[in-house]
Amino acid sequence: MTRRELFLCFFVMGLVAFGGVLPWARRALVEQRRWLSAEEFAEALSLGQVLPGPNVVNLAVMVGARFHGALGAMLAFTGLMLAPLAIILLLAVLYGHYGQLGVVQHAIRGTAAAAAGLVVAMGYNMVRRQAQKQAHAWRKSGVTAAAFAGSGLLALPLLWVLAVLAPVSMLLAWRGHK
Amino acid sequence: MNSRSLSEVLWYFLGLSMVAIGGANALIPEMHHQLVELRGWLSSSDFVSLVALSQAAPGPNVLIVSLLGWKVAGIPGALVATAAMCIPSSLATFFFIRFWQRFQQSRWRAVVQEGLVPVTIGLIAASGYVLTREADHGAPAYAVTILTAVAMVRTRIHPLWMLAGAAALGALNIV
């Protein structure tokens, strides 16, 4: 894989990835180009889930770094963000100009209700999968419920929620691993 | 749009970058509370509108950060917010990845992963709750949220169709 191919792959991925990048990333990296095996992709994803920062950006950095070092990481990151950032800024400017129009406001209000539903579905799927399939489901669901309450119901700062729950949850996991 | 708000955008998202475990979708409650309720940088209805725009556009979820930066300080704000959100965590990922791979079989690696993932799931669920609470006014809006969520869980319909359908219902003033 050349640097050019790396950049172009992530550029196209950013451009076509409507409704979440991960399915598109999997298709491009695992199925079409075979730069990663299915296991490597799952591994990178699970790592991306616990590292700070946007998951897909982390994935781009990992893949870029693996094949072309620091330059590769920068190329993959830039490729991924370039088109979506340009498009979102264009949308933002249009929103700034026309956002006050009644019909636009109403359309966006409808879209926002559906966007909330997308995130609800994502959370629901993750909660359900965790409760059904994995070991220690009660312990994990308890931590999930506490994070939901702290961040959602009590509106505590994210830093506090993490400072309390991350060590507690890891300690519980440590004991469960004995 | 002044330099003070630009530097505030920079510092807020720089700080957020290193605690953003679970990705941009886990950050909605934190950003809503900080930027809407405490700092008053934008209204709640603007916040949910920008989330909707970011979901309807292609690319990573982190674009919500770009839009929030844009709302506060224009295009420079968008660029600063995006860079501040992505660069520290990307550097951390870059340096951490080799270190992490050496511990592929170790117990504490499994412990970190097993400990953090349930937290991120709770944060994403909280994002769904806050978005629903702030976006939905009235029964039709709740119906759209529930219908979208059920469609996403039960069917393989593409999310864009749900967004487009909801936009149409909104434009017709039904939602």
A21-25, A66-70, B120-124: lowest mean pLDDT where? A21-25
Confidence band, pLDDT 50/70/90 cuts, at residue B167: very high
Could you give the number of structural domains in chain A? Answer: 3
Contact check, Cβ <8 Å, A141/B118? yes
Q: Are residues A94 and A104 in the same domain?
A: no
Q: Are residues A129 and A146 in the same domain?
A: no
Q: Are residues A60 and A129 in the same domain?
A: no
Interface test with B, best of A63, A66, A87, A151 (most B CBs within 10 A): A151
Q: Are residues A39 and A1 in the same domain?
A: yes
As a whole number, the mean pLDDT across chain B is 92
Give the pLDDT score at A95. 94
List pLDDT tens digits, range B17-44: 999 998 888 999 999 999 999 999 999 9
Residue in B closest to A144 by C-alpha: B122
Give the pLDDT score at B1. 47
Give the pLDDT score at A42. 86
Q: Are residues A147 and A163 in the same domain?
A: yes
Q: Are residues A23 and A38 in the same domain?
A: yes
pLDDT at residue A24 is higher than 70: yes
pTM across the whole model: 0.93
pLDDT at residue B3 is higher than 90: no
- Higher pLDDT: A19 or B75? It is B75
Q: Which among B54, B100, B108 has CB closest to A47?
A: B100
Taking contacts as CB-CB distances below 8 angstroms, the residues of chain B near A87 are 57-59
Q: How large is the average pLDDT for residues B125-142?
A: 96
Q: Are residues A90 and A105 in the same domain?
A: no
Q: Are residues A109 and A82 in the same domain?
A: no
Q: How far is CA A89 from CA A94, A143, B29, B65, B75, in A?
A: 9, 37, 23, 12, 7
Domain that holds residue A113: 99-133
As a whole number, the mean pLDDT across chain A is 93
Q: Are residues A40 and A117 in the same domain?
A: no
The rounded distance, in Å, linking the Cα atoms of B110 and A85 is: 35
Give the closest residue to A134 by CA, choosing from A48, A46, A53, A26. A46
Q: Are residues A10 and A85 in the same domain?
A: yes
Q: Are residues A87 and A9 in the same domain?
A: yes
Rounded to the nearest 10 degrees, the angle between the axes of helix A158-176 and helix A137-148 is 170
Q: Are residues A164 and A118 in the same domain?
A: no
Question: Residue holding tokens 């050496």?
Answer: B102
Contact check, Cβ <8 Å, A85/B59? yes
Tokens coding A164: 């309390």
